[in-house]
Amino acid sequence: MKRKTEGLYAVIDTAYVSLPEMEQTASRILGSGVRLLQLRAKGLGSGETLEASMILKKLARKYGAAFIVNDRVDIALISGADGAHLGQDDIPLPEARKLLGRDSIIGVSTHDPGEAASAQRDGADYISFGPIFPTVTKKDARSPRGVEYLREIRKTVSIPIVAIGGVTEDNAVEVLAAGADSVAVVSDILLSKDIPGKVSSIISRIKRARDA
């Protein structure tokens, strides 16, 4: 995985950000130092998802960031995104790789060691693992895995791990210390009254922890 993020993997989730707000919100996030951005557009139709993807891809190029589309390999391909993130019920990774090409970033959501090992075996560039903590971001989220389980997953795979689910500024360093390479922070950023300040603060905390 292209590692440009200082440990922060940001997500634009349409449960929190409407299409008219997307450009401004993404600009605030990317302008504060994020270098890997995902679009999660569960509630949008194909046309709106493509429109959102084109907006975010253009902004990502402006800031030198990588842009990934959640679930929708077709939208990632059409919009010229840098890659896609696949759930367990999405198109299988080998087929996604054929469509997107070997240079695309492809991640896979995992919840246990078996899924993690399978994703690595199939050629994933990274896995996400979670939910680490209780989360309200995903209505269908599984039970929290916790940082101890994350440590077990770290022993299972050698590819990068993005920890997700209930991760905030206050617990991000703890999660990274347990073996994650990056943390996906969603609501803590998107619900902040000061998004640039929140993003900068998270990145600074992570950098200080890694430099210590």
Say if residue 5's pLDDT is above 60.
no
190's tokens: 């998107």
Per-residue pLDDT at 139: 55
Architecture of domain 8-211: Alpha-Beta Barrel (3.20)
CB 32 within 8 A of CB 196: yes
Band (pLDDT 50/70/90 cuts) for residue 2 is: very low
- The helix/strand/coil state of 105 is strand
Say if residue 79's pLDDT is above 70.
yes
User: Could you tell me the residue ranges of all domains in the chain?
Assistant: 8-211
What residues are labeled active site?
40, 109, 138
Per-residue pLDDT at 140: 54
Q: Distance (Å, rounded) from C-alpha 91 to C-alpha 147?
A: 29
Band (pLDDT 50/70/90 cuts) for residue 31 is: very high
Per-residue pLDDT at 180: 96
Residues 6+ apart with CB under 8 A from 18: none
DSSP H helical ranges for 31-186: 46-63, 73-79, 93-100, 113-121, 146-156, 172-177
CB 70 within 8 A of CB 85: yes
Digit-coded pLDDT (tens) for 138-157 = 555 568 989 999 999 999 99
Q: Distance (Å, rounded) from C-alpha 158 to C-alpha 169?
A: 25
Band (pLDDT 50/70/90 cuts) for residue 179 is: very high
Instruction: Tell me the one-letter amino acid at 6.
Output: E
Say if residue 103's pLDDT is above 80.
yes
Say if residue 3's pLDDT is above 50.
no
Q: Distance (Å, rounded) from C-alpha 36 to C-alpha 6?
A: 10
